[in-house]
């Protein structure tokens, strides 16, 4: 059952499922997506955790923020969501934008984060990429999500996946097109300003970094940088996956998650 909650005067769409009384895991999706991005992970996580999913501000059924909200502010909203739901601590799993939010949460609210999974993400974008983000925002301001959907799908998946899984691709296409244009362009404006690099050394919770070997949106060197700078972090590279590895290679993605969570249980 999905529900709405009021955070900072705006409604946030969320859903809770899974094993009553178990530890919590919070899932945070990518740009231009919504909580359904995690459908292929749900069964596996619900067997082990209480699962909290939400639509990032400006995405899915959550309100588009009236003012621009930075990645740090998005992370604060996750902390507020947890607080309002009475969730003291949780494991956090984020992909792309969701991983950036996870970094923000682990840095600003370390007491809330039991572990961190950072998939296909980065702590900072290259300065050279700023004009690209501005172009994307402008394209959508002018032409709606239709203007970026094909380019997004091209970055998210390998050509092999597009050929092999046309029905899944179509489903993802509809999810992208359903993203509020204003929410997408607002996120495009704040993403290039984020820089968590100098603070990665503060992250002390167990961390798993996952990257698709063919990710061109956040190429593997971004994941290597995370793994090198976060103490004790592990890195798993998934073959035949581009940016949204959780959808393209759910079996190997879920296996990496399972191994990581099993290793935490043994400590």
pLDDT at position 127, please? 72
Residue 118 φ then ψ, to 5°: -115, 105
pTM greater than 0.85 (yes/no): yes
Residue 46's domain comprises: 2-266
- Find out whether 233 and 208 touch, Cβ atoms under 8 Å: yes
Number of domains the chain contains:
1
Average pLDDT rounded to a whole number, residues 172-182: 98
Q: What is the CATH number of the domain that holds 250?
A: 3.40.50.1820
pLDDT tens track for 54-108 = 999 999 999 998 888 999 999 999 999 999 999 999 999 999 999 999 999 999 9
CA dihedral 104, 110, 114, 116 (to 10 degrees): 30
Grouping H, G, I as helix, E, B as strand and the rest as coil, residue 235 is strand
Report how far residue 45's alpha carbon sits from residue 180's, in angstroms, rounded to the nearest whole number: 28
CA–CA separation, 185 and 144 (whole Å): 10
DSSP strand pairing (113-119 vs 90-95): parallel
Distance CA 254, CA 135 (A): 34
- Each residue's pLDDT tens digit, 113-122: 999 999 999 9
- Residue 265's pLDDT is 85
Instruction: Please tell me the distance from the alpha carbon of residue 181 to that of residue 143, in angstroms, as a whole number.
Output: 9
């Amino acid at each position: 059952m999905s529900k709405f909650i009021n955070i900072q005067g705006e409604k946030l769409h969320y859903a809770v499922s899974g094993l009553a009384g178990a530890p919590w895991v919070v899932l945070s999706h990518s740009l231009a997506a919504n909580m359904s991005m995690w459908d292929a992970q749900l069964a596996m996580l619900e067997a082990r955790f209480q699962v909290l999913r939400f639509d990032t501000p400006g995405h899915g059924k959550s309100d588009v923020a009236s003012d621009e909200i930075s990645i740090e502010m998005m992370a604060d909203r996750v902390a507020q969501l947890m607080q309002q739901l009475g969730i003291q601590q949780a494991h956090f799993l984020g992909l792309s934008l969701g991983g950036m939010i996870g970094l923000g949460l682990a840095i600003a609210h370390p007491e809330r984060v039991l572990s961190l999974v950072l998939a296909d993400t980065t702590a900072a974008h290259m300065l050279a990429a700023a004009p690209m983000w501005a172009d994307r925002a402008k394209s959508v301001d002018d032409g709606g999500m239709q203007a970026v959907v094909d380019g997004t799908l091209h970055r998210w998946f390998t050509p092999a996946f597009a050929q092999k899984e046309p029905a899944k691709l179509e489903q993802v296409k509809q999810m992208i097109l359903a993203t509020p244009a204003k929410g997408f362009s607002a996120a495009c404006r704040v993403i290039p300003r984020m820089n968590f690099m100098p603070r990665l050394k503060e992250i002390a919770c167990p961390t798993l970094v996952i990257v698709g070997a063919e990710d061109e949106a956040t190429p593997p060197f971004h994941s290597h940088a995370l793994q090198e700078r976060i103490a004790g972090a592990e890195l798993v590279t998934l073959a035949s996956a581009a940016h949204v590895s959780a959808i393209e290679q759910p079996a190997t993605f879920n296996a990496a998650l399972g191994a990581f969570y099993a290793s935490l249980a043994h400590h």
